[in-house]
Structure 1
């Protein structure tokens, strides 16, 4: 390699790469650079790292300084190697004292001649790939190809999910609790087995039919709860906030639980709760009242809705909602870590607080409905 100065020191660097996916894990590459032989000068080495946009773990390579030697300005690589061999032969022919003096006159390496360089993986890209893999596995898990598979799955008693058993490779047998839950839910499993499989129309058929069936079941549950309240002598407002709300919110609760366990953040689970309530209030009540208002107006009648205990219930719900949101914001402290999860004590206290708010809401709404306390 030609050099710019005749009195320059040649340093040889050895780059040893390690790639887990490579069949030849140790590949060496020599790189030469020149530096003036003065202690106050330095040389910056630039190593080009190629980004192949593939998901890879940490990579490591080593930068090692080999023995320095003087070279001429127009020496080729073969001539340089030949000079090194001649110098070594000349030193070997001298006696021990002369060889020691000659070695002392050579450029000397420092104590640190080897450097390890670690290229860390991109954690943002890793999270993206993990989410895509999780969604792909979830789609393979819940996807169905035919109605036959759906009905077979509906009437089959399956064991609960357990990651430890999957790692051991042993199939888990259904427990007594699994049989009891299957007996209680087999009707709903068979009913929803009539929903088209997810492979039809890219899942749109399953989505539309599922939404229609959920709406139909919600209406049936509302009527059953109203008749149950009438049978036991409860007012409609109490029946609505206790039985109807509980029955229609159980699916949202399980959906939020699944979202919380499968997502790294709490956005999906909390957004499902707030979004479902927004749909119930704005879309559910708004569409129903709009249709009723249009119908009565077309017949020349005036449509009015008796507010009843609505003002008291909405005010009480708003107060408890502010308490709940404030609790979630407080849980963002470093000692807890976020809206969901965290230390066991924080989880238990938050659960007890939210459960107490629900019981207090039912209690105060029922007392106001039966005129034990004065509302608005």
Structure 2
């Protein structure tokens, strides 16, 4: 690549990052407006619509590699993307806010224990499936999908709020 082409790729990369940030901000603000219009907690919208929407690309990637017979890669993608989201997606903005604002950040943790418990139980369930035959069957996949459906119902009915 020539110098001009390389600069345009770098510029496009940073413009893309800026656009992703801007669109993400607008998406979250509109989710709050949506929640207010329906008179429901924004947490419900975040745990259902936003969470599902941001996971769709990971879902497609996992389905593609699973169909290629790379189940371990599909699981690694699912687990790895969530670890990245938590550690970098939360950690980096909080670090930047702490550096810029120079004050502590309040993090609402009222319902964190229930969400952490459900996450832990889901991980245990996944490992049970993996260690009982090293294959995740269609039936076990449906159990995981049903568990997610149960989580959504529990959250909407107020169990997680």
Superposed pair shares fold, TM > 0.5? yes
When normalised by structure 1's length, the TM-score is 0.37
1:328 is matched with which residue? 130
CA distance in 2, matches of 1:239, 1:210: 28
Determine which of 84, 95, 112 is the counterpart of 1:279. 84
CA 1:330 to 1:221, structure 2 compared with 1: closer, same or farther past 3 Å? farther
Residue 108 of structure 2 corresponds to 306
Contact 1:313 1:365 in 2 (8 A): no
Equivalent residues of 1:256, 1:272 under 8 A apart: yes
Alignment of 1:21-170 (within 5 A): none
Structure with greater contact order relative to length (CA < 8 Å, sep ≥ 6): 2
The aligned runs of 1:352-371 (5 Å cut-off) are: 352-366=142-156, 367-369=158-160
- The structure 1 residue matched to 2:74, chosen from 244, 263, 269, is 269
Counterpart Cα distance in 2 of 1:266 and 1:210: 35
Q: 2:61 aligns with which of 244, 255, 259?
A: 255
Give secondary structure in 1 for the equivalent of 2:159: helix
1:57-103 deviations in Å (ceiling 9; x for gaps):
xxxxxxxxxxxxxxxxxxxxxxxxxxxxxxxxxxxxxxxxxxxxxxx
- Greater strand fraction, Structure 1 or Structure 2: 1
Matched, 1:291 2:81: no
Q: Could you say which structure has the larger radius of gyration?
A: 1
Change (3 A) 1:253 1:214: farther
CA distance in 2, matches of 1:303, 1:210: 28
In structure 2, what is the Cα distance between the partners aligned to 1:245 and 1:214?
16
Q: Is the 8 A contact 1:309 1:368 kept in 2?
A: no
Q: CA deviation at 1:216?
A: 4.5
The match for 2:52 among 231, 239, 246 is: 246
* Runs of 4 or more above 3 Å deviation: 207-211, 213-220
1:226 equivalent to 2:17? Answer no
* Cα distance change of structure 1 residues 318 and 266 upon mapping to structure 2, 3 Å threshold: same
More helix by share: 2
